[in-house]
Amino acid sequence: MIRDALVGLGAWNWIVLGLVLIGVELLAPGIFFLWLGLAALATGLLDAALDLTWQAAALVFALLAVAAVITGRLVTRPKVLPEQGEPYLNQRGQALVGRVFTLETPITGGEGRIRVDDSSWRVTGTDRLKGARVRVVRVEGSTLIVDDP
């Protein structure tokens, strides 16, 4: 009885399966079920157009699923390899070494501040007036050590 109902649905089985798999993607995100769902939808459309046997439809789904997952992997692959990645991730101060900035506050008593984009950084170095240009020479914790540019 269930088998007859499923066989009677024909291509709609694949379309419903595709929609269910895409729906599962909403519950378990990871962009894997999406590709399987698209393969099932494509199988349903091919089954509707070519009136495939269930064996042929299963084979078409298997081939499309493998192709869709491989294609999806290539499309969603990060453009930067992890080993190259962001060299100063979680070490933003290291990216500032060698750059020249204008003092936001004067360096008095060996301490002052510079503005970098939307952040204000504590700097240490020889006393200088506000607006003087300084070069970051190294980083100690969250303090930038500066010198003449």
Domains annotated on the chain, with CATH: 2-76 (no CATH), 92-147 (2.40.50.140)
Distance CA 105, CA 128 (A): 9
Q: What is the pLDDT of residue 71?
A: 93
Residue pair 109/129 in contact (Cβ under 8 Å)? The answer is: no
Q: Is 123 exposed, middle or buried (0-12, 13-18, 19+ CB in 10 A)?
A: buried
Q: What is the pLDDT of residue 84?
A: 56
What's the average pLDDT block by block, 10 residues per block, for the chain (149 residues)?
66 92 88 92 94 90 95 81 61 87 93 91 93 94 89
| pTM (2 d.p.) | 0.53
Q: What is the pLDDT of residue 80?
A: 60
- Rg (C-alpha) for the chain, rounded Å, is 30
Long-range CB contacts (within 8 A, 24+) of 16-24: 17/44, 18/42, 18/43, 18/44
Which residue in this structure is represented by tokens 């299963």?
Answer: 58
Work out whether strand 100-108 and strand 119-124 pair parallel, antiparallel, or are unpaired. unpaired
